[in-house]
Amino acid sequence: ENVVDGVISTDASGTGRGAILELVGEDGTKTTWKTLGRWGEQDDSGEQAHREACGTLRALETFLQAMQGKLILHLTDCVPVSSAMGAGSKESEVLHRLSVQIWKLCARWSVHFESMWISGDDMVKNGCDELSRDATVYKHDVLVLDAACQGNGG
The model's pTM is 0.84
For β-strands 16-24 and 6-12, DSSP reports them as antiparallel
Question: φ, ψ for residue 121 (rounded to 5)?
Answer: -60, -40
**1 confidence band (pLDDT: 50, 70, 90):** low
**How does pLDDT run across 48-107, given as a tens digit for each residue?**
999 999 999 999 999 999 999 999 999 999 999 999 999 989 999 999 999 999 999 999
Q: Which residues pair with 17 in a beta bridge?
A: 12, 37
Of the candidates 111, 7, 116, the one whose C-alpha atom is nearest the C-alpha of residue 67 is: 111
Question: φ, ψ for residue 122 (rounded to 5)?
Answer: -65, -35
Q: Do residues 85 and 115 make contact, with C-beta atoms less than 8 angstroms apart?
A: yes
Distance of alpha carbon 126 from the chain centroid: 13
All residues at 6 or more sequence positions from 108 whose CB lies less than 8 Å from its CB, including other chains = none
Q: Do residues 21 and 87 make contact, with C-beta atoms less than 8 angstroms apart?
A: no
Q: Do residues 83 and 95 make contact, with C-beta atoms less than 8 angstroms apart?
A: no
> What is the reported pLDDT for 135?
54
Question: φ, ψ for residue 23 (rounded to 5)?
Answer: -110, 145
Q: Which helix (H) or strand (E) holds 151?
A: strand 150-153
Percent of the chain exceeding pLDDT 90 equals 65
How far apart, in Å, are the Cα atoms of 87 and each of 71, 100, 129, 144?
Answer: 18, 10, 25, 33
